[in-house]
């Protein structure tokens, strides 16, 4: 699977997507091109993404900033120094305490090397990370899409993306998630770019911020 190299290529691919689906052109006409969102492919990003599971972006960011304020640098070693109570004071749920601890232990004890993981192809990354408790396909989708910029990722588990598909009437209102996945195939091998446009529509409609 290819990767998107830079913002200039990203904008050209946005144009390709809008030619494929004129309803996406309306998003760019109203809101301009989506940002070429990027998160560093590292441990702090995975922690933030775990925090974002099934909660609002604002709630996850508040927890992450509280953690950052407490430990200054989000590293596996620093996170593991905190007690469960200290993590709860950073707004971590019981499950997310467990998930982030397990991830930190995997890295700190040398069983997971993110630098090595980042050099793999998308399928190899997925196969390696999916075995970690608390890291499912949605979390991996966010990582390979926003941090590594693989070009053909569509996250069917992302509620914002699915809502945007319905709101832009790209599919019938009663379409199933499977039908949405099938519809998005028209953007392959650049489904990631179409996903960014969908996020852009969702975020702008609600005046949110994605970092």
pLDDT in tens, the chain (211 residues): 899 999 999 999 999 999 999 999 999 999 999 999 999 999 999 999 999 999 999 999 999 999 999 999 999 999 999 999 999 999 999 999 999 999 999 999 999 999 999 999 999 999 999 999 999 999 999 999 999 999 999 999 999 999 999 999 999 999 999 999 999 999 999 999 999 999 999 999 999 888 7
Is the residue at 143 inside a domain?
Answer: yes
The number of distinct structural domains making up the chain is 2
Confidence (pLDDT) at 210? 80
Q: Are residues 195 and 100 in the same domain?
A: no
Q: Are residues 157 and 138 in the same domain?
A: no
Q: Are residues 52 and 94 in the same domain?
A: yes
- The DSSP element (H or E) to which 207 belongs, if any, is none
Q: Are residues 54 and 18 in the same domain?
A: no
Confidence (pLDDT) at 139? 98
Q: Are residues 72 and 87 in the same domain?
A: yes
Q: How far is CA 54 from CA 36, 93, 142, 176, in A?
A: 23, 12, 13, 20
Confidence (pLDDT) at 25? 97
Q: Of 122, 147, 172, at which residue does a domain stop?
A: 147
Confidence (pLDDT) at 168? 98
Confidence (pLDDT) at 110? 97
Peptide bond just before 88 cis, omega within 30 deg:
no
For residue 23, how many C-alpha atoms fall within 13 Å in the half-sphere facing its CB? 11
Is the residue at 49 inside a domain?
Answer: yes
Confidence (pLDDT) at 129? 98
The alpha carbon of 132 is separated from its chain's Cα centroid by a whole number of angstroms, namely 17
Measured CA to CA, the distance from residue 91 to residue 74 in angstroms comes to 15
Confidence (pLDDT) at 211? 72
Q: Which residue has the tokens 């953007």?
A: 187
Q: Are residues 77 and 123 in the same domain?
A: yes
pTM of the model: 0.96
Domain that holds residue 114: 43-147
């Amino acid at each position: 699977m290819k990767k998107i190299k830079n913002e200039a290529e990203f904008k050209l691919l946005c144009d390709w997507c809008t030619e494929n689906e004129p309803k996406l052109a309306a998003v760019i006409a109203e809101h301009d091109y989506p940002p070429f969102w990027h998160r560093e492919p590292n441990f702090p990003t995975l922690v933030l993404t775990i925090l974002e599971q099934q909660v609002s972006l604002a709630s996850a960011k508040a927890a992450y900033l509280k953690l950052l304020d407490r430990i200054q640098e989000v590293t596996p070693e620093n996170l593991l120094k905190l007690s469960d109570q200290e993590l709860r004071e950073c707004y971590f749920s019981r499950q997310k305490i467990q998930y982030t601890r397990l991830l930190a232990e995997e890295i700190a004890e040398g069983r997971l090397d993110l630098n090595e993981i980042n050099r793999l192809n998308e399928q190899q990354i997925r196969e390696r990370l999916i075995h970690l408790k608390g890291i499912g396909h949605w979390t991996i989708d966010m990582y390979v899409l926003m941090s590594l910029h693989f070009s053909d990722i569509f996250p069917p588990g992302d509620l914002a993306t699915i809502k945007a598909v319905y709101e832009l009437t790209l599919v019938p209102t009663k379409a199933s998630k499977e039908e949405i996945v099938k519809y998005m195939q028209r953007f392959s091998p650049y489904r990631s770019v179409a996903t960014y446009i969908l996020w852009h529509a969702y975020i702008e409609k609600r005046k949110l911020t994605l970092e």
